[in-house]
């Protein structure tokens, strides 16, 4: 179980790092598309929207899961 926790922890850290990288890239692209030489406050809103849309894509993957997915882990599957 320890190895599984380590792998899950590493995967979570990797996902966080990729999220930061995607956010920074979206901010830079927003700045370039708006014609700014430096990042200004107006560049943040489109970058936040881009990251939010990317995060929303995960809803499609989670919606496909069966209703009882994760019942054993959460404790709801016990007692049957």
pLDDT-derived band at 77 (thresholds 50, 70, 90) equals low
Four-residue CA torsion sign, 77, 11, 43, 56: negative
Provide the pLDDT for residue 13: 95
| Residue 65 Ramachandran class (φ > 0 left, ψ -120 to 50 alpha, else beta) | beta
CB 28 within 8 A of CB 7: no
Residue 79: is its pLDDT beyond 60?
Answer: no
| Mean per-residue pLDDT of the chain | 88
User: What pTM was computed for the model?
Assistant: 0.71
Distance CA 10, CA 17 (A): 11
Provide the pLDDT for residue 40: 94
Mean pLDDT of all residues in 44-64: 92
Residue 80: is its pLDDT beyond 60?
Answer: no
């Amino acid at each position: 179980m320890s190895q599984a926790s380590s792998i899950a922890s590493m995967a979570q850290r990797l996902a966080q790092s990729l999220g930061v990288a995607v956010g920074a890239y979206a901010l830079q692209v927003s700045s370039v598309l708006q014609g700014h030489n430096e990042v200004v406050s107006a560049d943040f809103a489109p970058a936040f929207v881009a990251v939010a849309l990317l995060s929303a894509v995960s809803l499609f993957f989670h919606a496909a899961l069966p209703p009882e997915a994760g019942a054993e882990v959460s404790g709801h599957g016990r007692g049957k």
